[in-house]
Amino acid sequence: MSNSSLVVVGSGIKFISHLTHEAKVHIEQADKVLFLLNDPAMKEWVQKANPKSESLDELYTKYPLRIDCYHAITSYILETLRLGLHVCAVFYGHPSMLAIPGLNAVLQAKKEGIYARILPGISAEACLFADLLINPGSCGWQSFETTDFLINSRKHDPNCHLILWQADVIGTLTNPTSHDNCNGLTILVDRLSKFYQADHNIILYEAAQYPFFEPKIQQLLLRQLPSITLSSITTLYVPPANQTKPDTNLLKRLNNQINLSEQIPCQII
């Protein structure tokens, strides 16, 4: 049995405020810390918390294709782990939320009989629910990476909350320094227009990255989306189109005494 171990932790979204005590302890006590973070202040904190820290930024942009960069990061984490070290890998937000290098490293380490686990971090999705005052259980929610949503024709319920990620790089598999996203957004609007009116209100959301800062919440109409420039941390939220009508026959089968006239509609901003 190997003496090494791997713990992958999330830094959360908001500097320090979202870092759990458990994650903090693993960062401070690891033999080696590898980190991939988008906040300079958080990078500095990690390096001070554990001098045996190393950034993975170079690997994140080393290859033209993002997937090759992800594989390189996973490989490097495993190479370091096989040196017999207790390794802590730190990723922005939730470490397995739209982030595969840490997840793949844990899966492979487990196959090799090495102790490995992931500790959760506060994700942008959790921040979105709080900042937009959404109860996801009110009518359910569906969450997709935007390019995947389009090219795989993902089925969704327009009467649920819809969250679309990485809408700023639709259709690109590279790490572009600049990307004309207008065509991708136009295609996205065409797809969504099958389920929503052109004047359906949508929201562009960016979680606050520092304490006492406000999130960015921009409301616009669906048809306006192609003319908007999105940042790399923009999340697209599409409120439900309508309220779903319950199946009254099924309610009777469940012996449910709910008064349908008193149903609470979805909370739509």
Residues labelled as active-site residues: 66, 70, 92
- What does DSSP say about strands 235-238 and 201-206: parallel, antiparallel, or unpaired? antiparallel
**What are the phi and psi torsion angles at 71 (to 5°)?**
-65, -40
Distance of alpha carbon 73 from alpha carbon 66, whole angstroms: 11
Q: Which two tokens stand for residue 155?
A: 């089925």
Name the pairing type of β-strands 201-206 and 161-165. unpaired
Rounded CA separation 36/165 (Å): 19
CA distance 166 to 258: 40
In degrees and rounded to multiples of 5, residue 70 shows phi and psi of -65, -45
